[in-house]
Amino acid sequence: MYFNNVLGNELVKKLLLAEFHSNRVPHAQLFFGEDASQQLPMALAFSSFIFCKKRSSSDACGQCSSCVKMSKLIHPDLHFFYPTIKIQKGEEKKSESKKYFPKLQETLLENPAVNINKWETNLHSTKKASIRSADLVKMCDIANLKSYEGEYKIFIIWGADKIIQKSISILLKTLEEPRAKTVFILIANNPNLILPTITSRLQVKRFEKINKDILTEYFEKKFPHIEKNKITSEINNYKNNYYDILDQLKENNNDDSVISEFINWIRLCFLCVNQKSKCMNPKTNEIESVMIQLISWCNMMADCDKNFQNQLINKAIEVIREAFLLNYDLQTLICKKTKHPNFSIHLFSKYIQHNNIAEILSLLSNANYCLDRYANSKILFLDLSFNLGKLLNKNK
Picking from 200, 241, 242, the residue whose alpha carbon sits closest to that of residue 30 is: 200
Other beta carbons within 10 Å of 4: 11
pLDDT tens across the length of the chain (396 residues): 899 889 989 999 999 999 999 999 999 999 998 777 889 999 999 999 999 999 999 999 989 999 999 999 999 999 999 988 876 655 455 668 888 888 889 888 888 888 888 888 777 776 788 888 888 999 999 998 888 887 899 999 998 888 888 888 888 888 888 888 899 999 998 888 888 888 888 999 999 888 899 999 998 888 776 778 888 888 888 888 888 888 888 777 677 778 888 999 999 999 988 888 888 887 778 888 999 999 999 998 888 777 788 889 998 998 999 899 888 877 666 656 677 777 888 889 898 998 999 999 999 999 989 988 878 999 999 999 999 999 998 876
Q: Collapsing DSSP states into helix, strand and coil, what is residue 155?
A: strand
Contact at 8 Å (CB) between 189 and 218? no
Other beta carbons within 10 Å of 108: 20
Q: pLDDT tens digits for 334-380? A: 656 677 777 888 889 898 998 999 999 999 999 989 988 878 999 99
For residue 174, the number of C-alpha atoms closer than 13 Å in the C-beta half-sphere is: 18
Single-letter amino acid, residue 13: K
For residue 116, the number of C-alpha atoms closer than 13 Å in the C-beta half-sphere is: 26
Strand 286-289 and strand 278-281: the pairing is: antiparallel
Q: Mutual orientation of helices 212-222 and 242-271 as an angle, nearest 10°?
A: 30
Q: What is the pLDDT of residue 340?
A: 73
Contact at 8 Å (CB) between 277 and 290? yes
CB-based contacts of 368: which residues, under 8 Å, 6+ apart? 310, 313, 314
The rounded distance, in Å, linking the Cα atoms of 64 and 55 is 9
Q: What is the pLDDT of residue 34?
A: 78
Three-state SS sequence of 213-261: HHHHHHHHHHCCCCCHHHHHHHHHHCCCCHHHHHHHHHHHHHHHHHHHH
Output the DSSP codes for 330-359.
-GGG-SS---BTTB-HHHHGGG--TTTHHH
Q: What is the pLDDT of residue 371?
A: 87
Q: Where do the domains of the chain lie, and which CATH numbers do they carry?
A: 3-209 (3.40.50.300), 256-395 (no CATH)
The rounded distance, in Å, linking the Cα atoms of 210 and 218 is 11
Q: What is the pLDDT of residue 335?
A: 56
Q: pLDDT tens digits for 73-104? A: 999 999 999 988 876 655 455 668 888 888 88
Q: What is the pLDDT of residue 280?
A: 80
Other beta carbons within 10 Å of 28: 21
Q: How far is residue 291 from each of residues 259, 264, 297, measured CA to CA in Å?
A: 21, 13, 10
Longest dimension (CA), the chain: 82
Contact at 8 Å (CB) between 245 and 235? yes
In DSSP terms, 33 is beta-bridged to 207
Contact at 8 Å (CB) between 314 and 322? no
The rounded distance, in Å, linking the Cα atoms of 293 and 357 is 26
Q: How far is residue 356 from each of residues 236, 321, 361, measured CA to CA in Å?
A: 44, 12, 9
